[in-house]
Structure 1
Amino acid sequence: MKTISIVLTNYPSHLSSFMETVYGYEYTHASICLDAMNEKMYSFNYKGFCMETVSKYKRHGVEKSISFQLQVTDAAFERLQSKIEQFVENREEFCYSSIGVVFCFVRIPFKRKKHYFCSQFVAEILAESGALKLKRRPSLYLPNHFYRELKEAAELQEIQYDILPEAV
């Protein structure tokens, strides 16, 4: 068995402010990490597929965070790792899906080839790898949906609040 992390943050952006103000969403960005230390995270932002770190979050003004550590089978971990490697190797081919976020808000499943928003990406690779059985289609996940669902997941090992180190 291996441990992965789903990291949720409140990322400072116009969309995040909108989600927080209008919908009361505490967390507005989702990433996946293939270790329990949250050293390198993978997600999507306005520039497309991205690799993130805790220090990058701090530089961009992220203050609120939570990490759900999940135990997954070795086979699921290998599939996750392989899928993420494909994204890393072909990162220029992938784009952010603003329209996907809009459809998600109105609860309409929408999938466009090689286009993702952060939580859709995390949900899709979790589902396709068999790491986690999801309750809805990947294109219908916003970061706060993970917050509610992961707290009850059988695979949950630990929850770490405020994983970002304090500024010194």
Structure 2
Amino acid sequence: MEKKEIYLLLTDTGTLFTKTIKLYTKNPFNHASIAFDGTLTELYSFGRKNIHNPFIGGFVKENIHDNLMREADCAIYSRSIPAEQCEKMINYIQKIKEQQDQYRYNLLGLFAIILRIRFNRENAFFCSQFIATVLAECGVTTFPKPPSLVTPHDLPQVAGFQLVYRGKLSDFHTHPNKVNRHIQNTTH
């Protein structure tokens, strides 16, 4: 059975919004993205659409080279899954991408997590809710709680990802070959 690597990127961009979330979570990383390549070129999440306004959000294809991401602290995790499941994930995300104007950021869902209340909105996700939904819907893993209560901190622990890099995302950008070799050596 052919295997493919998928990647989970957790970040702390240091913005006021993430600092506020961090006050509650006490976790080092409060944003999650998923990728299907070791260079993180195909990187997807639900987050801000405008770098200057965290309240305008939705489905995003993120770029590790933009100002906000480049300066972020990060942890990169990987997991090997059957190629068929990887293809299902890519197709699931592609459908959302094609209809992204119908999707919104689930800001109210973030507040519901604080109260431990399951809060689903149609076609609305926050970052970890999106990734948990993709992983569950495509049969990669199941979570002990609803996706609307999954935090970025939960994702690597529950979904069986292995840490392969931790540091500044700009260092990943500056030394991608070194990091990619590290990723490949760590996951096999």
Q: TM-score scaled to structure 2, two decimals?
A: 0.78
Distance change >3 Å, CA 10–CA 103, structure 1 → 2:
same
Q: What residue ranges of structure 2 are gaps of 5+ in the alignment?
A: 49-56, 175-188
Q: In 2, distance between residues paired with 1:52 and 1:23?
A: 23
**Aligned-partner Cα distance in 2 for 1:122–1:22:** 21
Where do 1:11-30 residues align within 5 Å?
Answer: 11-30=13-32
Q: Determine whether 1:77 maps to 2:83.
A: no
What do residues 24-73 of structure 1 show as CA deviations (whole Å, max 9, x unaligned)? 121010001012221221001132110012112xx116421011101111
Match of 1:105 in 2: 114
Q: Determine the structure 1 residue equivalent to 2:59.
A: 49
Tell me: CA distance 1:147–1:4, structure 2 relative to 1, closer, same or farther (3 Å). closer
Letter in 1 for 2:25: Y
Distance 1:141 1:126 in 2: 12
Q: Which residue of 1 aligns with 2:155?
A: 146
Q: Indicate the larger mover: 107-116 or 36-45.
A: 36-45
| Total equivalences in the alignment | 162
What SS class does the counterpart of residue 25 from structure 1 fall into?
coil
Cα distance, 1:135 vs structure 2: 2.5
Determine if contact 1:70/1:158 at 8 Å carries over to the other structure.
no
Q: Does 1:160 align with 2:169?
A: no
Instruction: After TM superposition, give the deviation of residue 144 of structure 1 in Å.
Output: 1.7
Larger radius of gyration: 2
Task: Give the whole-Å Cα distance in 2 for the aligned partners of 1:81 and 1:29.
Answer: 20
Alpha-carbon distance in 1 for matches of 2:24, 2:92: 34
RMSD: 1.9
Aligned mate of 1:130, from 139, 142, 164: 139
Please give the secondary structure, in 2, of the residue aligned with 1:68: strand
Farther-moved stretch of structure 1 (14-23 vs 43-52)? 14-23
Matched residue type, 2:164: I
| Structure 1 residue runs without a partner (length 5+) | none
| TM-score (norm: length of structure 1) | 0.87
